[in-house]
Amino acid sequence: MAKKKVKSKKPRDKTNSKDLVKKEYTDEEKARLAKHQERAGRKPVKFKTVESDSDNPQIALQDPDDPLVAVKLSEAVGTADPDLQSHLLNQVIQTFKGAASSDGFDHDNIASSANHATAILNGIQPQDELEGMLATQMIGVHNMAMETMRLAMLGGQTFEGKKSNVNYATKMLRTFMAQMESLKRYRTGGQQKMVVGDVNVTEGGQAIVGTVHQRINKGTVLE
């Protein structure tokens, strides 16, 4: 009777998984971690879709009891006025793909679009109403640029159709860059700063459709 071959077992890896965890960080890594933790700790306002008596979607705060909710809303759009907060958020939400169309609003996309908008605004951190308006415009222009870039990549379209989308996307991207420059100039008071180090000179050398009926903290109805 033939003996069964016994497969030799591979030696078990005795490496402790804990040994794989880095125990020390360099100063550069510590700085990166601290910066990440600071950004992650500055959480934006979050919204959810709630039922409405009308066909229009309504959004409300996910955590209305958050003691910093008023501060977060103010920081997101650069104003402490609740009506203007609702107005600007209402406008920017509708620039996201799928949030609104000629057929009406997509109830499932309204809250996610609002959350995407506030996450971006949380990063821009507009300091006043003018910056708030510019920041919301920047989001809308970015959304239009990305949508036309997507359309330009679709197959089966005519050369003229592709060219039209590319041209439109290019215009939006240029507009976005101009908006960034405008925001930078506004924040610095129009002054350009230049830091000069050691310089050696040798001889001879020489940039809705929709209306808010209620304030955000009480629920916002879009039309």
The predicted pLDDT at position 206 comes to 44
For the chain, residues with pLDDT lower than 70 are 1-23, 54-55, 101-104, 190-223
Going through the chain in order, the beta strands assigned E by DSSP cover: 47-50, 58-61, 100-101, 104-105, 220-221
Distance, in Å, from the CA atom of 35 to the CA atom of 169, rounded to the nearest integer, reads 33
What digits encode the pLDDT tens for the residues 26-78? 989 999 999 999 888 888 999 998 877 766 778 889 999 999 999 999 999 99
Q: Is the Cβ–Cβ distance between 110 and 117 less than 8 Å?
A: no
The predicted pLDDT at position 207 comes to 34
The predicted pLDDT at position 214 comes to 41
Distances (CA, A) of 22 to 17, 18, 43, 196: 11, 9, 28, 39
Distance, in Å, from the CA atom of 27 to the CA atom of 118, rounded to the nearest integer, reads 32
The predicted pLDDT at position 192 comes to 55
Distances (CA, A) of 117 to 61, 107, 184, 201: 14, 16, 20, 50
Kindly report the backbone phi and psi dihedral angles of residue 212, in degrees, each rounded to the nearest multiple of 5, phi listed first.
Answer: -90, 125
